[in-house]
Amino acid sequence: MTEKSLQDREQETIALLQEITRDWSTGLGDGITPATALVSDLGFESLDVVHLVTAIEQRFGRRDLPFEDLLMTGGRYVDDLTVGDIARFLQRNLGA
């Protein structure tokens, strides 16, 4: 099996977000890109983040990913995440 690149992880993340937001009116003319932010661009709320975490776990068959590393910084929840942030998290934690 070949190792996935960061661009592969970005495309996987974009595909998941497209599924989740399929029925939403996001107003993103250019679609979802690595720079797209979950809260400020897609209008995510906390429940949507939980849905995304669950979708990631199901997609990759992993329930042991350290999501606290992605969602928290210095003991506080982050205000927003980009597609690129999520892709880098997946690249670090899933590797090949």
pLDDT, tens digit only, all 96 positions of the chain: 457 888 999 999 999 999 999 888 777 767 899 999 999 999 999 999 999 999 999 999 999 999 999 999 999 999 999 999 999 999 999 965
Residue 85: HSE in the Cβ half-sphere, 13 Å Cα cutoff? 16
Q: How far are the Cα atoms of 23, 37, 78, 82 from residue 70, in angstroms, in the given order?
A: 26, 14, 8, 11
User: Domains in the chain, start-ordered, CATH in brackets?
Assistant: 6-94 (1.10.1200.10)
pTM: 0.88
